Structure 1
C-alpha cells in the first residue's frame, strides 16, 4: 500500500520515474495543482509539450485510455494529466496500469472518500501513490512559507513570519501569490520585518478578512458586512475567514485567561506573539470588554463547526460565512448595549 504521508511527499516528487500512477486528492486545490505541475515538469520537461503531455479536463475524460496507451512520437516519457478526477476513472486507470502502456498518469481530484475506488486503487498498487493535499496551518505552514522565501533568497524575521502566517488564507495558490509579492518587494538577500509585511499585504483580501473579523467581534454589524464583502470580492474564501476568526478568538481567550489569573490586560496583550497591530489595539480591547471567557470558548467551538460545514461538498459556504459573522456581530452589539 502506497499511501504517502506529509513527510514522504518529497520522495514522490523527486522520483517520478518510480510511479505509473499518482493520485492527488483533498481540499487544497492550489496544493494539488502545485504538486501535479511539479510532477509533470519532472517527467516531461514542461507543462505544454504536445508530444509528451496530454492534459484532460472533465469534458475529455472519455479520451483517457486513448491518450494513456498512445506512443510518444519523440521517444520520451509521456504524461497523462487528468484534472477533476472522480471514482469513475478507477476502472479505466486500472485497465491501463494492467496493460502494456507506459505513460505516467497524474490525476488531480477533490475530496475523495477513504474507501473510494480511485483512492483504493492508488493505495493498494506498488507502482502507484496516493497523496492527500490539505491546507497547512500552524508550524507546518510557517515551515513552508520560510522555505518559499529561502528559495527566493529572501529572509523574514520570526515576528513578521508569525503575523504573515496568521493572515494567510488556506489555499496554496493564494499563499504563493503573497510570497511572490513580498519577495519581489524585498529583492534578493533582504530580510523582511513586520512593517515590510504589513505594507505589502495591508491592502489585500487578507487585510479585509482581518477587518471583518475584528469588526464582528466588536459588534459593528454594518462595518462587518462591508469588510466581508470586500474580502470576498478580492478572492478570500470562507475557510480562510474561519481560520482568521479562530486565531483572533484564540488570542482574545489567552488575554482573558491571563487577566483572570491576576495579570493586567496591558501586560497580557503585550505578551501576545505576534503583537496586536497598533491600529487594531482599540478594537481588540473593545472585544475583550464584550466577550467572557466561556463565551469565547463557545464561539471557538461554533466557528470550528462553521469551518467544517464550509468544507462539505455542495455547502453554501459564502452564505454560511455571512450568517456566522452576522450572528457574532449581533451578539457583540447586544453585549455592548447591556454595558
Structure 2
C-alpha cells in the first residue's frame, strides 16, 4: 500500500520526486518497513504539475489517463496551453523520427536512439509505440491541427482552455484508433 501511494504521488517533476524520496528516507530512518501513513505524512504530491503524464496519455490514446493528468494540471494552476505546446513539440519530434525511419527503412528503436536520446526512460515506450502506429502523413496532420489550435488559442484568449482541451481530446481519440 505504501509503495502504491508513493508511486501515485511522485513522478511529475523528477527533481522534486528525488527530493521527496530523500525526505521519506530520512523520515523513516531506522524503521524496518515504510508504512502508507509514513508516505501520506511526509511526501508531497510531486506529480501534480507534470505535463509529461498528459502527453504520454495522449500518445497512448488513454482518454481516462489524459483526463486524470489534465485535472491534476488544472488544479495545480499550470496553464493548459503548456500541455498543448508540449504535445506539439512531441508530434514535431515524432515527425522527425518517422521521417528518419521511412528514409532509412529503420526500426523505431533506431530512430529513438539517434533522435530521442534526451527522452526520459519512462517515456520511451510510449514514443516508440507511437512511431510504430502513426504514419508520417497522420503525424503531420496532427501536428498541423495542434499548431492551428495554438494559433486559435492566441487569437481567442477567452477560449484558450476550451480550444486546447478539445484539440487534445481529439488527438487522444486519434491515438486510440491506431
TM exceeding 0.5 = yes
Aligned residue in 2 for 1:149: none
> 1:231-310, aligned counterparts within 5 Å?
231-262=73-104, 263-272=106-115, 275-310=118-153
3-state SS, counterpart of residue 172 of structure 2 = helix
Whole-angstrom CA distance in 2 between matches of 1:204 and 1:259: 33
Alignment of 1:316 with 2:159, yes or no, is yes
Aligned residue in 1 for 2:16: 200
Whole-angstrom CA distance in 1 between matches of 2:142 and 2:93: 13
Q: Is the Cα contact below 8 Å between 1:269 and 1:275 reproduced in 2?
A: no
User: Which ranges in structure 1 are unaligned for 5 or more consecutive residues?
Assistant: 1-196
> Deviation of residue 300 (structure 1)?
0.9
Choose between structure 1 and 2: higher strand proportion. 1
Choose between structure 1 and 2: higher helix proportion. 2
> Deviation of residue 312 (structure 1)?
2.4
> Deviation of residue 217 (structure 1)?
1.8
Q: Is the Cα contact below 8 Å between 1:309 and 1:315 reproduced in 2?
A: no
> Deviation of residue 273 (structure 1)?
5.4
Q: Tell me: higher relative CO, structure 1 or 2? Use CA pairs within 8 A at least 6 residues apart.
A: 2
3-state SS, counterpart of residue 276 of structure 1 = coil
Runs of 4+ in structure 1 deviating by more than 4 angstroms, as ranges, are: none
Whole-angstrom CA distance in 2 between matches of 1:287 and 1:206: 23
> Deviation of residue 289 (structure 1)?
2.4
> 1:80-99, aligned counterparts within 5 Å?
none
TM-score computed with the length of structure 1 as normaliser: 0.38
TM-score computed with the length of structure 2 as normaliser: 0.69
Q: Is the Cα contact below 8 Å between 2:49 and 2:72 reproduced in 1?
A: no
> 1:1-339, aligned counterparts within 5 Å?
198-200=14-16, 203=46, 206-207=49-50, 209-262=51-104, 263-272=106-115, 275-335=118-178
User: Which ranges in structure 2 are unaligned for 5 or more consecutive residues?
Assistant: 1-12, 19-45
Whole-angstrom CA distance in 1 between matches of 2:161 and 2:82: 11
Larger Rg: 1
Whole-angstrom CA distance in 1 between matches of 2:151 and 2:114: 31
